[in-house]
Structure 1
């Protein structure tokens, strides 16, 4: 059974490819490599000793997208592809709306044309916006704070409308909280371009000597140590969640949103301490002003995913830090030197 993975060379995508291959699926990847590296997929194939069929195309290229479906017997799609930097989305909103929304529309049109109606969509906890009520359930009113988050809300609505028009679709909308860590082998991991937007790759780059110090945005939140608390989830747990959601989408029609997180929160300073313990490195940091839109606490309510497709995160903060450091030490410059 062939599964098409859009954006399969990215951080979450390549980890999901491993889990799909190990679960016995054939994997086809579409990626334009605008924010990822072909080397990640080479390493997935080395780790699993299995082949992936890779198409270096853009989802906005409808003709090439159609060819992928013509050439392969695709049963379902996991859709990761899209732009994902919050700050960049504020600076270039039209680019984000065109890329993220139109590519999804083209994908769904092509799926419909080829009678492929099983989809797992990579959404985000950013759809919840500035909500103070925690843990956050899937039923909370959606209210994103930036264009990136709003593209996720709009795509979720498009998919709901598509299902409403044709109830033979099976779709899962997966709202991630804060994925960190790396594959235990240290062969694949998070490889951001430029200054990292996320906490863990920033910490690991400080630890390896690529950056002088960590910037902590605010220490005056109403939390135990004044720094923001987030729900961090190991990327391997997240990848396994996609396989579980896929199995549900393949066997049942309908459309549902699911949080993927741990339900446990750690402050920025607690993550720093956990990383220092895992790595033996001291992480120098500097407290700077809060970022606009950041909330004090963001935690997932995770009972729905466990109830509906028997998924739960099992890896703790120690493993997340250990595996992230293992990846960084094995790949000081990420995949870049392999290109």
Structure 2
């Protein structure tokens, strides 16, 4: 496919997964256009992206629901595809603030679908989640596994998928791909972009790195009595660089006239427990982590990891990077960001 000058709109493009996907797009010859209101990201990510890619980054500080301003962007650039990341995304927070999640996650999706229809955008790649499988009875989960939800966040992903399914029936020119990805970890090899939570982290690895850096006093492991080999939760941790490449692969095949929308699990097919992650970090870095066990957390499930047969076969994509690479790059990024914030 000739990708030169193909403009791809990336909502939430300054965020964790979005920023890595912007790098992957540029590496493949696309021209990404970032839409981000920086509510969950830092504006200096743009400068870091420009250094990594040696490119000028096109971005607009605008919310997805601001359709008036976004129409100007769509009128200015011939948008060939949309990758929609912009959403609130923490399970625990969604339990406390469900209405905020409904407003932002549904509202932003509706706006982007309206724009996709009006401007006849050919490809729409949606950032979904393995949370749509709820608390699965069988592991690993495949794309035919029963869909449910265990939190308001999971509910927004499940309903958003259904909204897209209904939308493309009325607007078949838009070919949609739903990527149900598992637990993103790691950072870019440069160590200058990575997961940079605003305040207390919701995800395991940034909490580990912040604890090791002295930002947090200790790590809390939520639950030690799950029916797993070591009593802690098991997740499928996928390197964010691999995940970014999956979005590009989805973009390149979403102009097919077959099933619409297409659905793919994006993971490694392997589960790793919380304690295994802690021990791996200690081994790789030589740093001992202070941690304690706490009660189970609302919305958490015992175990989930992916069956990746479909994405391996149809997208010709497979995860390549290891847990060790993810941990090492995350620690490099943590040290970088501490120094950066200190200088600021």
TM-score of the pair, normalised by structure 2:
0.95
Give 1:267's aligned residue. 273
Q: What is the number of residues matched between the two proteins?
A: 338
Alpha-carbon displacement from aligned partner over 1:106-161 (angstroms, at most 9, x marks no partner): 11111111111310000111111111310011111211111111111111001101
Q: Kindly tell me: are residues 310 and 92 of structure 1, through their superposed partners in 2, closer, same or farther at Cα, counting changes over 3 Å?
A: same
Deviation at 1:338, TM superposition (A): 7.3
Residue 237 (str. 1) matches residue 258 (str. 2): no
8 Å CA contact retained: 1:181, 1:324: yes
Deviation at 1:247, TM superposition (A): 0.5
Deviation at 1:88, TM superposition (A): 2.1
Alpha-carbon displacement from aligned partner over 1:28-62 (angstroms, at most 9, x marks no partner): 01000001011112111111111221100011111
8 Å CA contact retained: 1:65, 1:107: no
Q: Secondary structure at the match of 1:144?
A: coil
Q: Secondary structure at the match of 2:192?
A: coil
Q: What value does the CA root-mean-square deviation take over the aligned residues?
A: 1.4
Deviation at 1:336, TM superposition (A): 4.8
Q: Secondary structure at the match of 1:28?
A: strand
Structure 2 residue runs without a partner (length 5+): 1-5
8 Å CA contact retained: 1:76, 1:250: no
Give 1:186's aligned residue. 191
CA distance in 2, matches of 1:250, 1:16: 19
Q: Secondary structure at the match of 2:293?
A: strand
Q: Secondary structure at the match of 1:94?
A: helix
Residue 40 (str. 1) matches residue 45 (str. 2): yes
Q: Which runs of 4+ in 1 moved over 6 A?
A: none
Give 1:170's aligned residue. 175
Deviation at 1:292, TM superposition (A): 2.5
CA distance in 2, matches of 1:314, 1:32: 32
Q: Secondary structure at the match of 2:265?
A: strand
Residue 131 (str. 1) matches residue 131 (str. 2): no
CA distance in 2, matches of 1:224, 1:289: 18
CA distance in 1, matches of 2:338, 2:323: 22
Q: Secondary structure at the match of 1:115?
A: coil
Give 2:61's aligned residue. 56
8 Å CA contact retained: 1:76, 1:118: yes
TM-score of the pair, normalised by structure 1:
0.97
Structure 1 residue runs without a partner (length 5+): none
Residue 302 (str. 1) matches residue 280 (str. 2): no
CA distance in 1, matches of 2:98, 2:39: 17
Give 1:329's aligned residue. 335
Alpha-carbon displacement from aligned partner over 1:233-269 (angstroms, at most 9, x marks no partner): 0000000111111111134452111111100111111
Q: Secondary structure at the match of 2:87?
A: coil
Give 2:3's aligned residue. none
Q: Secondary structure at the match of 1:203?
A: helix
Deviation at 1:167, TM superposition (A): 2.6
Give 1:15's aligned residue. 20
CA distance in 2, matches of 1:53, 1:61: 18
Q: Secondary structure at the match of 1:34?
A: coil
Which of these residues, 316, 324, 338, is aligned with residue 322 of structure 2? 316
8 Å CA contact retained: 1:218, 1:227: yes
Which of these residues, 71, 76, 81, is aligned with residue 71 of structure 1? 76
Q: Kindly tell me: are residues 274 and 171 of structure 1, through their superposed partners in 2, closer, same or farther at Cα, counting changes over 3 Å?
A: same
CA distance in 2, matches of 1:296, 1:146: 14
8 Å CA contact retained: 2:82, 2:123: yes
